[in-house]
Structure 1
């Protein structure tokens, strides 16, 4: 697309993060960079992705409050991670991380293991262990 045709629609980038760098063709036919505040199709896709993430976080919150999962799963969702990524950050096998989602297993985790999770989530062990409905 030509540099003067780079979309400048209202979008996620304008509201939250400034502008996005794109490539365009200048008057001489050379590739150059241009700033875009976004375009409708991209805005719709990003909005849908963010809504899906918010739904996953809300579902995890509900499951923690119902004692169906541990706070580890909730914080994993808040940090936009998946079990494989979380497992790599805490240095454990993925099956162990998934096992720690069980409230009965979570209650028996060592301080060392809880510290690993808390460090990855950038919270205190106390907050990880004593999650309140107002915290989430």
Structure 2
């Protein structure tokens, strides 16, 4: 893309006066860097991704409120983690974490295990246990 054709569309980046560094060709055909305030297709894709993340968080919260899942699933979504990432951070097998998604199993977890989750989510054990139900 030529430097003068780099898109300067309004985007989520312009809210904070942030510009994105891109590579483009100059008038001599040489690669150079230039700044862009945004590109509409990228803005749409980013907005759709954020909407999907927010829906997943809301669904997880509702599952917890309905007693179908433990708070771990909500905080995992809130922190934009998946099972693999959470497993590596907490240091537990994925199958164990899946068991901890069950409210009945979660209720029996010891403080040491709860602390691992709380530290991973950067919250207290008390917040992990009670913050969603309030």
State the match for 2:71 in structure 1.
71
| Correspondence 1:98-109 to 2 at 5 A | 98-109=98-109
Sort the Cα spacing of 1:125 and 1:16 in 2 relative to 1 into closer, same or farther, 3 A. farther
Residue 5 of structure 1: how far off its partner (Å): 1.2
Aligned residues of 2:71 and 2:132 also touching (Cα < 8 A): no
Sort the Cα spacing of 1:17 and 1:87 in 2 relative to 1 into closer, same or farther, 3 A. farther
Sort the Cα spacing of 1:103 and 1:17 in 2 relative to 1 into closer, same or farther, 3 A. farther
1:14 aligns to 2:28 (yes or no): no
Residue 16 of structure 1: how far off its partner (Å): 4.8
Q: CA separation in 1, counterparts of 2:62 and 2:132?
A: 12
Aligned Cα root-mean-square deviation (Å): 1.3
State the match for 1:54 in structure 2.
54
State the match for 1:111 in structure 2.
111
Gaps of 5+ in 1: none
In the alignment of these two chains, the number of paired residues is 134
TM-score normalised by L of structure 2? 0.94
Q: CA separation in 2, counterparts of 1:53 and 1:30?
A: 39
TM-score normalised by L of structure 1? 0.93
